[in-house]
Structure 1
Amino acid sequence: MPRTKKKNSRGGQHGHVQPFSDEDASIETLSHCSSFSDITSVADDGGEANEDSAQEDFQYKLKGFIDSTVDKSAKTRQGALDGLKTAMATRILYEFISERRMTITDSIERCLKKGKGDEQRAAASLACLLCIQLGSGIESEEVFKTLKPIFKNILADGSANIQARQAVATSLGLCTLVAEDDILDVHATMECFENLFTRSYARADGTCPSVNPQTSALHTNALLSWALLLTICTANQLRDILRKHLPKLPRLLESEDVNMRIAAGETIALLFELARDMDADFEFDGWDELCDKLNALATDCNKHRAKTDKRKQRSVFRDVLKAVEEGDFQTETIRFGTERMTIDSWVRKRTYDAFREFVGSGMNYHLQGNEFIRDVFELGPPMLVDSATMKAMKISRFERHLHNSAAFKARTKARSKFRDKRVDVGEF
C-alpha cells in the first residue's frame, strides 16, 4: 500500500493538521457513535444521505488517526493508537480495516519497536483488536507473522518496560488464538509463557520466590494467555501438559498476589475440565492435597490479607473447588440485543474473558455483529439487520468470511468438544 502522505480534501496534509482537537473529543465521538441505535437514528432523522455523511466523517477521523500514528510527537501517536483502539472495540470495521491492514500493521510495528511503555502497551492492544476485526484467515495471519517476533522479543527481554511486557503477554495469547496457523507454533508460544509464570512457583520447601508486584502481574498475564491456548491444544499436547504442569501449578496457589492465586485456580479448573473431557475417569495423584488447598482459599480468614482480596478470592475458589471435586461449573448467561449466550464451561469462560479484556464494553456489540466472534461462540450468522450493517455486508465480505470461518474451524477443531475422547491420558 502507498506510504506517502496525501493531501486531504479539507486542505493541508494529515501530517501537519491535528485531525482532532479537545473540543472534537475524538474518543468520546467514537464511543458515542458506537451503537447501532446511534447509526440508525441518523438515518431516521435525515435519511440515507445523512447516514452516508456521518459514515464518511467517521472514516475521515479514522484515517486521521492512522496518519497520526507516525507523528513525531509521542503524545499524538499515543492518542492516535487509543483512538483506533476505541473505534475497533466499539464498531465493526472489517472493510475499512482490511483495505488498510498493512499500513496499520506497520504503525503498530514502529510503535512497538521505538515507543516507550504506554505507547507500546497501546500498540500491543491495537494489534489484538486488529486481529479480532479481521478474524481467522490469511489477513490476520499476515499481520501476526509480522508482529509475533517483536512480541516475543519484548516478552523475553528482562530490560524492556515492564508494562509493555505485561501488555504483550496478554496480546500475544489472543493473537495466537486468532491468527496462528500452525499448532506447533502455538506450543512454542506456550513455552514462552511457561518460561515466565513458572518463576512464581513456590519452592519445594513451601517458600515463595521474591517477586515484585509488577513482575507478578507479568507472570499472571503469561499464565492466563497460556491457559487460553490450552483450549486449542491437540490431545497429545494436552496429555504432555497435564503430566508436566498439573503437579506443579498448585505451587502458584501460595503466591502473595491475589490475582496470581485466582489465575492459578482457574487454570487448574480448566485443566481438570479438559482432562475429564478426554477421559471421564481421569485421576490425579495429588487430588486430596489440592482439594485441601482450594478449600483453604475458599474459606480464607488470613488476617494479613485485604478484605476485598479475600472476598474476591473466596468466590472464585468456591467455584474452582466444585470444578475439581465434582466437575461442576457455575453457569452464567450473557444477554446481548435479543439474544443470549450461556457460559457453561471453563473453556468458554477463559475464551470470553480474553476477548472481553480487549473490547470491554463493546463485547455485547461484537457478540451481535462480529462474524468471527460469533463463530468462536457458535452463535451463527449476525442477526443485525439495520441499514448500516447491511451496507457493510457486501458479497465480497461473505466470500472472505467463508474462508476465514473455515480456517478458524480447522484451527480450533481440537477444542474440548471436538477432542478425541478415546485418548488415554493415564493417571497422575
Structure 2
Amino acid sequence: VCPLTLWGQQGNVQPFSDEDSSIETLSHCSSLSERTSAAEEAGETEEMAQEDFQYKLKVYIDSTVDKSAKTRQGALDGLKTAMATKILYEFISERRMTITDSIERCLKKGKGVEQCAAASLACLLCIQLGSGIESEEVFKTLKPVFKTILNDGAANIQARQACATSLGLCTLVAEDDIMDVFATMECFESLFTHSYIREDGSRPSVNPQTTQLHTNALLSWALLLTICTGSHIRVIAQKHLAKLPRLLENDNVNMRIAAGETIALLFELIRDFDYDDWEPLCEQLNALATDCNKHRAKTDKRKQRSVFRDVLKAVEEGDFQSETIRFATERMVIDSWVKKRTYDAFREFVGSGMNYHLQANEFIRDVFELGPPMLIDSAALKAMKSSRLERHLYNAAAFKARTKARNKFRDKRVDVGEF
C-alpha cells in the first residue's frame, strides 16, 4: 500500500504513516487470499449442495401426501418455489407421475388454498417438462380434474379461479389436439359470457369473487386465441367481438382491462376483419383512456388509463407500445399483444424467476423464439467475480485505513488549536 499523504496546516505536503492503520490495511488485503480460497472450496462442494437440495425436494414430494393439511401446503409451496427459480428437468422427469398423482390428490381432497397451490404447481410442472409427451401425460391426468372444479358451482371459488388460470396455461403447453383446445375455450366462454351486459342494458348480478373467476376465464381464453388457426379466429370474432365491448362497462377494473386487452388482441390477429361498430368502440375506449369518474379509486383509474391508451392505439392504428425485457446478457422485445399475453401468462406462475427461465429454460426460449440457451464460460465468470471481489476488498481496506488516519490527524489538529 502506498504511503498516505495529507495536507498539513502550512499547506506543504507531509508524509503520514500510522503503524496501526498500516497493519489493519495489510490484514484486510491479506484476507483476500483466504476469501478466494473459500470461494474455490465452495465450488468444490457444489455437488454436495446439489445433493442436499434434491434431498429437500424429495422430502417435499413425500410430504404432499401427509395427513396434515399444513404440511401438504408447505410441501406444495416448497416445490413451487424450487420449480419457479431453477431448471429441474432431469429430477422432475424421473418423478413426474409421482408429482402428478400428488397434485391430483390435493386438487380432489384439499380445500381452497391447498387446491390453489396444487393448480399452480401443475403449471410449473408443465413449464419444466416443456411441450412433449411427458407434459401431455401429466395434463391428460389433470385436465378432467381442472374442468370438474371449474364447472362446479359449489366448489371453493378461489380453487375455481386458480383452475381457470392453470387450465389455460397447461392447455397452451401440453394439449396435443387443436379440437381439444377449442373445447377448452368453449368451457371458458361458458363462464365469462355470464358477465356480459344484456342486450336490454340490464346488468347480471355477479359478486366480486365470481367476477374474478370470469376475468381469469377470459384471460385464459385470450391466451388460447394465440394458438388458434386463422379460420377459427374469424369464427370467434364473428361470435364475440360485438359482445366483448359489453365487458368494458363492468364495475371491476380487472375485468375492464382484461376485456380491453382481449379486444386489442383480436384486432391484431385479424386486421382485415370487417367490424361494423368500430367508431362506437373507439369512443368507448377513448372514454376509458380518459376516465375521470370520481367514484373509482385513483390507482384503478391510473392503471386503466394507461392500458386503454394502448388499446385505443391498437384498434385505431394497429399499433403496439413495445417493451424490452433484459436478462443476463440478452434482451427480448415484447412487440405484440400476442407476445404480451403469452409473457404475462408465464410470469404469473414463474414470478421473479421469469428472467432466469428466459435465460435457461429451453421450452420458454422456444416459445419466444430466443434460440438455444447461451452458454457462459463458468471459469471466466468465476474469474470476473473474483476480480470484482478483489477490487472491492482492496478499496474497502484502503478506505478504512484512510478514514482512520484522517480522523487521528484531525484529532491532533484539534489538540494543537487548544494550546
TM-score in terms of structure 2 length? 0.80
**Structure 1 counterpart of 2:266, one-letter code:** L
1:323 is aligned to 314
In the alignment, structure 1 residue 284 sits paired with structure 2 residue 275:
yes
Q: What does residue 196 of structure 2 align with?
A: 201
2:371 is the alignment partner of 1:383: no
Matching of residue 367 in structure 1 with residue 362 in structure 2:
no
SS of the counterpart of 1:340? strand
* Partner Cα distance (1:251, 1:286) in 2: 12
Call closer, same or farther: CA 1:323–1:195 in 2, change over 3 Å: same
Q: Is the 8 A contact 1:368 1:384 kept in 2?
A: no
Give the letter for the 1:179 counterpart.
Answer: A
Of 81, 88, 91, which residue of structure 1 is paired with 2:83? 88
What SS does structure 1 have at the residue aligned with 2:45?
Answer: helix
| Aligned with residue 220 of structure 1, among 197, 203, 215 | 215
Greater helix percent: which structure? Answer: 2
How far 1:211 moved relative to its partner? Answer: 1.0
1:260, distance to aligned residue in structure 2 (A) = 0.1
Aligned position for 1:339: 330
The answer as to 2:42 corresponding to 1:51 is no
The partner residue of 2:63 within 64, 68, 76 is 68
CA-to-aligned-CA distance 1:76-130 (integer Å, 9 cap, x gap): 0000000000000000000000000000000000000000000000000000000
Q: Secondary structure at the match of 2:332?
A: strand
Please point out which of 181, 186, 195 is paired with 2:176: 181
Q: How big is the shift at 1:44?
A: 4.1
**Partner SS for 1:301:** coil
- Residue 48 (structure 1) shift: 4.9
SS of 1:334 mapped into structure 2:
strand
For residues 115 and 181 of structure 1, the distance between their equivalents in structure 2, rounded to whole angstroms, comes to 29
How does 1:137-176 map onto structure 2 within 5 Å? Answer: 137-176=132-171
Q: Percent identity at matched positions?
A: 84
Q: What letter matches 2:76 in structure 1?
A: L
What per-residue deviation string (whole Å, max 9, x for no partner) do you get for residues 23-68 of structure 1? xxxxxxxxxxxxxxxxxx9994315540100000000000000000
After superposition, the C-alpha distances for 1:366-405 in whole angstroms (9 at most, x for unaligned) are 00000000000000000143669xxxxxxxxxxxxxxxxx
User: In the aligned structure 2, how far is the partner of 1:283 from the partner of 1:327?
Assistant: 14
TM-score (norm 1): 0.79
CA distance in 1, matches of 2:207, 2:42: 57
Quick one: distance in 1 between partners of 2:106 and 2:185?
Answer: 25
Aligned equivalents of 2:353, 2:375: Cα separation in 1 = 15
Q: How far apart, CA to CA, are the structure 1 residues paired with 2:120 and 2:163?
A: 8
Residue 105 (structure 2) aligned to one of 107, 110, 119 = 110
CA distance in 2, matches of 1:42, 1:267: 56
What's the CA shift for 1:74?
A: 0.1
RMSD of Structure 2 on Structure 1 (CA): 1.5
Q: Kindly provide the CA deviation profile for residues 327-386 of structure 1, in whole angstroms up to 9, marking residues without a partner as x.
A: 000000000000000000000000000000000000000000000000000000001436
AA aligned opposite 1:236: S
Q: Quick one: structure 1 residues 387 and 96, their matched pair in 2 at CA, closer, same or farther if it must change by over 3 Å? A: farther
Query: Residue in 1 aligned with 2:302?
Result: 311
Deviation at residue 206 of structure 1 after TM alignment: 2.5
Please tell me the residue identity of whatever aligns with 1:367: L
1:105 partner amino acid: T
Aligned length: 344
Residues 1:262 and 2:277 are matched in the alignment: no
User: Is 1:296 aligned to 2:287, yes or no?
Assistant: yes
**CA deviation vs aligned residue, 1:258-290 (integer Å, no higher than 9, x gap):** 0000000000000000001xxxx3331010111
Structure 2 counterpart of 1:253, from 226, 244, 248: 248
Aligned to 1:101: 96
* Runs of 5+ unmatched residues, structure 1: 1-40, 389-428
Paired with 1:315 and 1:167, the residues of 2 have a C-alpha distance of 27
Q: Partner amino acid for 2:337?
A: W
Distance in 1, matches of 2:90 and 2:167, equals: 24
Give the conservation status (yes or no) of the 8 Å contact 1:42–1:50: no
2:373 counterpart letter in structure 1: P
Q: For residue 171 of structure 1, what is the amino acid of its counterpart?
A: S
Q: Distance in 2 between matches of 1:288 and 1:92?
A: 48
